[in-house]
Amino acid sequence: MEKRIAERLRDPRLADRIVPAHEAASWIQDGMTLGLSGFTRAGDAKAVPLALVDRAKTEKFKVNVFTGASLGFDIDKLMAEAGIIHKRLPFQADPVMRKKINQGEMLFVDQHLSHVAEYVRNDVLSKIDFAIIEATAITEDGLLIPTTSVGNNSIFIEKADAVIVEINLAQPAELEGLHDVYDLAPQGKREPIPLTKVDSRIGQIGIPLDPEKVKGIVITDASDSPSTIVPPDEETAVMANHLIDFLRKEIKAGRLDNTLAPIQSGIGSVANAVLHGLLVSEFENLEVYSEVLQDAVFDLIDSGKVRFASGCSITLSEEKMKAVFSNLDRYKDKLILRPQEISNHPEIIRRLGLISINTALEVDIYGNVNSTHVTGTKMMNGIGGSGDFARNARLSIFVTKSIAKDGKISSIVPFVSHVDHTEHDVDIIVTEQGYADLRGLAPQERPRLIIENCAHPMYKKQLLAYYEEALKVGGQTPHVLEKAFSWHANYLKHGTMLFDHQYINS
Amino acid sequence: MEKRIAERLRDPRLADRIVPAHEAASWIQDGMTLGLSGFTRAGDAKAVPLALVDRAKTEKFKVNVFTGASLGFDIDKLMAEAGIIHKRLPFQADPVMRKKINQGEMLFVDQHLSHVAEYVRNDVLSKIDFAIIEATAITEDGLLIPTTSVGNNSIFIEKADAVIVEINLAQPAELEGLHDVYDLAPQGKREPIPLTKVDSRIGQIGIPLDPEKVKGIVITDASDSPSTIVPPDEETAVMANHLIDFLRKEIKAGRLDNTLAPIQSGIGSVANAVLHGLLVSEFENLEVYSEVLQDAVFDLIDSGKVRFASGCSITLSEEKMKAVFSNLDRYKDKLILRPQEISNHPEIIRRLGLISINTALEVDIYGNVNSTHVTGTKMMNGIGGSGDFARNARLSIFVTKSIAKDGKISSIVPFVSHVDHTEHDVDIIVTEQGYADLRGLAPQERPRLIIENCAHPMYKKQLLAYYEEALKVGGQTPHVLEKAFSWHANYLKHGTMLFDHQYINS
């Protein structure tokens, strides 16, 4: 065995399992269910899924694909294009897959990221035939060391009939020791999760492999796909300032101190940019307890603002990836990667009292949030972990720009066209216009505040007109149901949510 | 001091604090915030609120009222009628108060029951001036022994400027020892909650009182208001059978055994009736981990079906109240009452893996649930604990009759007019028509199943017609947004959701 492979594949019992990717892919049969590693483009199994796509050129089959979250390396795209997916869960973010989902050509189950492992553990979903898991190494005693994400690897390996490991030589060997894998016993036989601090180590550095179950090991050599986040812009900088203003008021009110509370920040450009804004804040010794660790987290570590970050995956831009992975030792005492069941567990989120920052697609005048469905019907990416965090955080903050498509869409609407987070779970809404603090407010106290502080000026009158008409209907949550979705309908028909003053004069 | 009072008020430091209710009520000033004991009619402070209502005859003032859940003894009604409430949270169930809320005459904040204590602890809501808490007794060393509910008593006492205790001689002295009061440290400084079994005792039997803060003690002598649940009927019996069928299939699939898993059952007649159905099931050694313990739980204990029940309150019919409270010793090793923050804590609900049964007002074809708002605008009672449980349970079950008002309302609708529980949090829907198991299903797999299994025959065609039209729009979650609320609009205009075949022919 080549030396650089031997250094990674250290369990002698598994030395004879190395196979080419296409051979491993050939074991997968029509109708099977696969559990793939991968969480927001990081640590995804790469070679076997691509070999499977290749096989689809000459053969017709479909499989169910369960993952941690979105995959990188165009795998979601290629699998979707190849038409080999019957059902996919719990999250995706690929334009081609999105299209196939919305055309009804594949099934997509949009799940809370913390729920997947419980469903798999309880045998509620279809049985997993193959777990296909990327590894940095397999230790002498059979511990699989994950790479840049942990995701659902543990539970997939535990419940799968057989395991295929992809040892990726391109992933830095220094990842070993970074992970903290803690497995939950079945419900009802479970002890409290002993994690009480962001940097608590409660598990082991890898996932125990049953050598009998390891059917094949594929050697790969390709980096993760870099993230596609766009850099902060003027508006996201303004949003970050609003958020910082809010946090300052919390400190002034004695509800937080200068170290804030552990921060969670959702995937995507806006959340990343808002987090980036903390670089120029006076807050110090910050902690991050999140699912994805994006560029901003490492910038905050580099600047000394963040003292520790716990996540489930590291998803970086190309440039940042080079900088971080060539200096991983520098970060090792400041980082932990955990299974998504732990990073997103309600028990931990509530215990630590997180400040949770997630992106909204649209928000309504009462504070309900749509994170997933464009005009109520078309899936964007999925709810991801936002529901795990929003429900249980100390501060549940949603950020969105007040308009989209040059103002043709208002992100503040009378009634969100799909509800992912109910008004019970939304504390603060931030747009580039300002923020609305909804905590302790009854529904009737919310619309004017949200409209005044968060809506774009071009939509304020139209929003107020709706609310005033709704007030005539009355009730705890006034609405004119016939017109609740008229903005969306207008957009679908005329390409804009703006009624050109027709509405307010009618 | 009278002997029967001395037996209850045992802390000598507090012997001089006894005052008449009207005197205690006179301390409360316009604009103050009160934290009242009371959870679903049980263990509510009775005398001081009524004295406050009395005072309103000659004086104008308003207060904020925070409670555990709904109050009994017409207190919510009388306070609402007297117009003395500015803001009320987190739950109510009184017709008069409901009317005032929906007329916009008082503010109502509808909160997850587990969230209230965190908000109070974090000083997010207005400061509590007086905690007014019903007690069975105050022990020699100053422990307040709650009565038939624990609610938010602990956190109200801890955070209030001053405490008024109502020692209720009509509450059985044998309640002492039944409670298990565990207080959480602030977020970030908190240990795991050590509760791992339904019958775990983790706290003390009462709430420590700071004698300096006890401004007055009022002696009262009135039982809780009995519950108003209606007995099981033919339809609820059928619903119970569907639920039992489902649970049998879970056992057959190896996902549960004959002792099931700890059961939570929401407040109200339907949930009580469905639970009642377990009496004639083959399940054994059942456990209950719930918020309200209603008649059915005690019937199940009496029959030997339930071995242990943990709750936050005991709310019984008049007859059952007599039977239970005259034989409390018989139940003492089978019962625990806990703070609502513990009974409803996501950490515990997820750890124990509850089977959660709650009532829906309406359900849509994708599995979203409305628990609170009639035709989207009018508050019924509030979300209560249903969100705490539905999100975190092993099995999140919602029950509802398929029609209401003699068929003028279908409980299964195209789009719920208010979302309390998103489709991510709803596993099983049960009506008298049957049940739909939504676990692991993509949106497109849900409508036909829900319509076929749960909708009333008179609405099936109309539901299918909507869905078929929606399919032409397409997307992950097909909808015709302009028509999504047309059923509700039709009901508001014409008194029925039925379109008389106009819809399906149009």
pLDDT in tens, B253-287: 999 999 999 999 998 788 888 888 899 999 999 99
**Helix residue ranges, H only, B181-220:** none
pLDDT band at B231; cut points 50, 70, 90: confident
Residue B68 near residue B93 (C-beta atoms within 8 A): no
Phi/psi at A486 (5° precision) = -65, -25
pLDDT score, position A273: 85
Distance from C-alpha of B494 to C-alpha of B503, rounded to nearest angstrom: 14
Query: Is residue A364 domain-resident?
Result: no
Overall domain count for chain B: 1
Does residue B450 form part of some domain? Answer: no
Task: Give pLDDT, residue A231.
Answer: 82
Note whether residue A133 is domain-resident. Answer: yes
Residue A261 backbone dihedrals phi, psi, to 5 degrees: -145, 165
pLDDT per residue over A298-309, tens digit each?
999 999 999 999
Residue B15: other Cβ atoms inside 10 A: 14
Whether B102 sits inside 8 A of A420 (CB atoms) is no
At residue B376, the pLDDT reads 97
What is the structure's pLDDT at A505? 39
Residues in A closer than 8 angstroms to B191, CB to CB, are: 196
Q: Residue A230 — pLDDT band, cuts 50, 70, 90?
A: confident
B119 in reach of chain A (CB within 8 A): yes
> For position A502, what pLDDT does the model report?
53
List, in sequence order, every beta strand (DSSP E) within B243-399.
263-265, 286-289, 292-293, 306-311, 313-314, 335-337, 355-359, 362-364, 369-370, 373-374, 378-379, 395-399
pLDDT of the residue at B1: 79
Q: Which residue has the higher pLDDT, A228 or B115?
A: B115
Q: Say if residues A374 and A380 touch (Cβ distance below 8 Å).
A: yes
State yes or no: B381 annotated in a binding site.
Answer: yes
Mean pLDDT (whole number) for A310-315: 97
Q: Is A456 on the interface with B (CB under 8 A)?
A: no
Asked if B424 lies within 8 A of A376 by C-beta distance, the reply is no
What is d(CA B212, CA B88) in angstroms, rounded to the nearest whole number? Answer: 28
> Residue A204: inside a domain, yes or no?
yes
Position B88 in a domain: yes
Q: Give the catalytic positions of B in this structure.
A: 291
Q: What tens digit of pLDDT does each residue of A36-92 get?
A: 999 999 999 999 999 999 999 999 999 999 999 999 878 999 999 999 999 999 999
Q: Which of A233-237, B83-87, B160-164 has the lowest mean pLDDT?
A: A233-237
Answer yes or no: are the C-beta atoms of B480 and B467 closer than 8 Å. no
User: Cβ–Cβ contacts within 10 Å for residue A79, how many?
Assistant: 27
Tell me if B385 is assigned to a ligand binding site: yes
What percent of chain A has pLDDT above 90? 94
Task: Identify whether A47 is part of a domain.
Answer: yes
Residues of chain B with C-beta less than 8 angstroms from the C-beta of A369: none
Mean pLDDT of B207-214: 98
- 3 state DSSP class of B144: strand
Residues 6 or more apart whose CB falls under 8 angstroms from that of B468 comprise none
Q: What is the rounded distance in angstroms from the CA atom of residue B155 to the CA atom of residue B122?
A: 11
Question: What is the reported pLDDT for A345?
Answer: 98
Least Cα separation, residue A327 to chain B (angstroms) = 31
List the structure tokens of B16: 């001089």
- A5: Cα separation from own chain's centroid: 32
Distance from CA of B483 to the nearest CA of A (A): 8
Interval B458-469 mean pLDDT:
98
Q: What is the pLDDT of residue A506?
A: 39
Please check whether residue B131 lies inside any domain of the structure. yes
Q: Is the ipTM of this complex over 0.90?
A: yes
Nearest CA in chain B to A126: B440
Kindly list the residues from chain A whose CB atom is less than 8 angstroms away from the CB atom of residue B262: 188
At residue A426, does pLDDT exceed 50?
yes
Residue ranges of A 204-263 with Cβ closer than 8 A to chain B: 253-255, 261-262
Amino acid A71: pLDDT = 95
A64 contacts on B by Cβ (under 8 Å): none
Give the B window 356-395 contacts with A, CB below 8 Å.
368, 373, 375-379, 383, 387, 391-392, 394
pLDDT recorded at residue B269: 80
Catalytic-role residue among A166, A176, A291, A341: A291
- Contact present, A38 and A12 (Cβ < 8 Å): no
pLDDT of residue B505 exceeding 50: no
Residue B47 covered by a domain: yes
Structural domain containing residue B22:
1-220
In the predicted model, what is the mean pLDDT of residues A134-161?
Answer: 98
| Among the listed residues B454, B206, B201, B457, the one whose alpha carbon sits nearest the alpha carbon of residue B335 | B201
Please report which confidence band the pLDDT of residue B502 belongs to, taking 50, 70 and 90 as the band edges: low
Whole-angstrom distance, CA of residue B397 vs CA of residue B456: 19
Asked if the Cβ–Cβ distance from A419 to B419 is below 8 Å, we say: yes
Q: Which residues of A touch B476 (CB under 8 A)?
A: 101-102, 108, 110, 373, 377-379
DSSP code, position A441: -
* B486/A482 Cβ within 8 A: yes
Does B266 appear as a known binding residue?
yes
Q: Mark yes or no for CB contact A376/B254 under 8 Å.
A: no
Q: What is the pLDDT of residues A187-214, one digit of tens each?
A: 999 999 999 999 999 999 999 999 999 9
CB contact under 8 Å between B376 and A424, yes or no, is no
Domain of residue B56, CATH code: 3.40.1080.10
Beta bridge pairs of residue B379: B373
Contact B351 A190 (CB under 8 A): yes
Which whole number is the average pLDDT over B410-439?
98
Q: Which of B92, B469, B473, B481 would best serve as a mutation to test chain A binding (most A beta carbons within 10 A)? A: B481
8 Å CB contact of B484 and A486: no
Average pLDDT of chain A, as a whole number: 96
pLDDT of the residue at B272:
83
- pTM for the predicted model, two decimal places: 0.97
A90-124: per-residue pLDDT in tens?
A: 999 999 999 999 999 999 999 999 999 999 999 99
